[in-house]
Structure 1
Amino acid sequence: MNPSIKHDKSDPNVTGIFSKKVTNDAPISPIISISPELAGIKMIYQCDDDARYYSLPILCWSILASGRITGLVAWQGSVCPCDKVQLAYGGKWVGYQSMNSKTLEFEAPESKRAELQTMTRQTERNQPLLIPDIIGTHALLLADREGGYNLKPVVGWRFTNGEIIGLFHNHYEKRSKPLSEQHLMAVDTPGTGFVYYFHYAIAKRVHAKEPSAMASMRALVSRLTL
């Protein structure tokens, strides 16, 4: 299968956020171990009313309590397994695709499977872990009830107690230090106003003040602050 994939374009994940509710309400098995994705493999998905395919960078690979190994993506307000991504207006996960291949894969790379299985045997379950964000994820934070908002770069991720939470700098800080030595704030900290994770391509359009992206963001924030 060699789908024609639209990488980093305006996609249903973007327009769906702005026009319809996107959900991920299905129960998900807890995460036991994770391994960062460093080779640029992406999740491929499709909408029911669109014959095209779309991509989203994989954050990391995981082994779940059920024993299943799957890629994870920052989708809406959480990090979830690729094959559990759900769109309220219809859609489905299709598979994985590497940067240098047009072939779809349906399982994690063998190297990641072996690494995760070894980690699970040798490390304490749910051992805390910090990993950097290398795919340009941003967090949408509502600043007030008057339509103000911030798009903060997610600089890292904290894995603990079976969950992965995004981390950002509340104030400017040089990133030369290890994550463990930086002053980071988690998106689930009370008062941050966190709503959604956004792919870098969306954030780039907003930061560039593209009219369509700005209008869509204003409409989204307006609905969220009603």
Structure 2
Amino acid sequence: MGNVSSPRTARVIDLDTMRQRRQAQRRILRLAPELDGLEMLYHLASDPDTLYGMPLLAWGLRESGEVVGLVPWMETLTACHEMDSPDNGRFFGYRDPETEEIFHTPPEHKVYELEHAAAYFDYEETSAPTLIQQLPDTQGTHALCLASDGESWQLKQVFGWRLYNDGNMESLLVDEKRVEQTPIVAGDACLYAGHSRHATVYYFQRHIANQIKQQDPTTMEALAVMTTPSSSS
């Protein structure tokens, strides 16, 4: 008689552990500012034949080795290729305005820059949140800061961006009451992380921020819709 094979033991899959591993692979390890004017291209479902350009703020290296373009978008510094909203924008590619070349993967020189920088600045792992990098905001990005009651808001220019060892990226804003010297530079006590004081933060490009400052009717109407809490049914 042949040998009877023993039944295979069922594997227990820890879904929480799997999610944590996937999240760790997405963690940003290093940032490189975009200083040559490269843009992200996106389109809207309402106008699929038109491409819109937005200057890239930086490139990021993930723990998985993937390099992603980054732009301030809605409530966070967002990886360009993950933008997939029919209403707010769907990623199409990258563009060099000088040559008008359109490409769909990060440029090699930025990949090399990030890989070499990450190898050089090889920080020791710590459980406590640790500041890894700080970049200036070169785009004139503004933050619309909402209070927890959702009723009051203020518009503040973004001074810069911080990257922490857990991959979290935070905008850096100015507390005007604590400004002691000008110009403001990195490390000044008047700078604070946006979400440390504000319940919700939305990011806007400079021209949209100026429309808000000028009380443009169309912009203010859209802003009212954005900042009004949805009523539960």
TM-score tier, shorter chain, comes to 0.7 to 0.9
1:105 to 103, 106, 116: 103
1:55 to 53, 56, 80: 53
In the alignment, what sits opposite 1:195?
Answer: 201
Return the offset for 1:37. 0.9
For residues 61-140 of structure 1, the aligned pairs below 5 Å read 61-87=59-85, 89=87, 92-125=90-123, 128-140=132-144
- Is 1:160 matched up with 2:164? yes
Return the offset for 1:137. 1.1
Q: Distance in 2 between matches of 1:44 and 1:171?
A: 35
- Is 1:219 matched up with 2:217? no
Cα displacement string for residues 145-165 of structure 1 (whole angstroms, at most 9, x for unaligned residues): 373211111101111121211
Return the offset for 1:60. 0.5
**Structure number, greater radius of gyration:** 2
In the alignment, what sits opposite 2:17?
Answer: none
| 8 Å Cα contact 2:146-2:153 kept in structure 1 | yes
- Is 1:142 matched up with 2:149? no
Return the offset for 1:186. 0.6
Q: Distance in 1 between matches of 2:224 and 2:46?
A: 25
Cα displacement string for residues 73-119 of structure 1 (whole angstroms, at most 9, x for unaligned residues): 11111112110112154853111112312220122222211111101
Query: Does the C-alpha gap of structure 1 residues 127 and 171 become closer, same or farther in structure 2, counting only changes over 3 Å?
Result: closer
Q: Distance in 2 between matches of 1:218 and 1:116?
A: 40
For structure 2, which runs of at least 5 residues remain unmatched after alignment?
A: 1-21, 124-129
* TM-score with structure 1 setting the length: 0.79
Q: Distance in 2 between matches of 1:225 and 1:203?
A: 27
Q: Distance in 1 between matches of 2:89 and 2:114?
A: 29
Larger deviation, residues 102-111 vs 200-209? 102-111
Larger deviation, residues 34-43 vs 117-126? 117-126
The structure, 1 or 2, with the larger RCO (C-alpha pairs under 8 Å, 6+ apart) is 1
- Is 1:40 matched up with 2:37? yes
Q: Which amino acid aligns with 1:183?
A: C
In the alignment, what sits opposite 2:193?
Answer: 186
Q: Distance in 2 between matches of 1:163 and 1:144?
A: 21
- Is 1:31 matched up with 2:32? no
In the alignment, what sits opposite 1:6?
Answer: none
Report the secondary structure of 1:136's partner residue. Answer: coil
Query: Does the C-alpha gap of structure 1 residues 90 and 204 become closer, same or farther in structure 2, counting only changes over 3 Å?
Result: closer
Report the secondary structure of 2:26's partner residue. Answer: coil
Q: Distance in 2 between matches of 1:183 and 1:159?
A: 18
Report % sequence identity.
28
Q: Distance in 1 between matches of 2:54 and 2:162?
A: 20
Q: Distance in 2 between matches of 1:130 and 1:185?
A: 12
RMSD of the alignment, in Å? 2.5
* TM-score with structure 2 setting the length: 0.76
Q: Which amino acid aligns with 2:52?
A: Y
Q: Distance in 2 between matches of 1:120 and 1:102?
A: 30
Q: Which amino acid aligns with 2:141?
A: T
| 8 Å Cα contact 1:46-1:91 kept in structure 2 | yes
Return the offset for 1:48. 3.0
Query: Does the C-alpha gap of structure 1 residues 182 and 101 become closer, same or farther in structure 2, counting only changes over 3 Å?
Result: farther
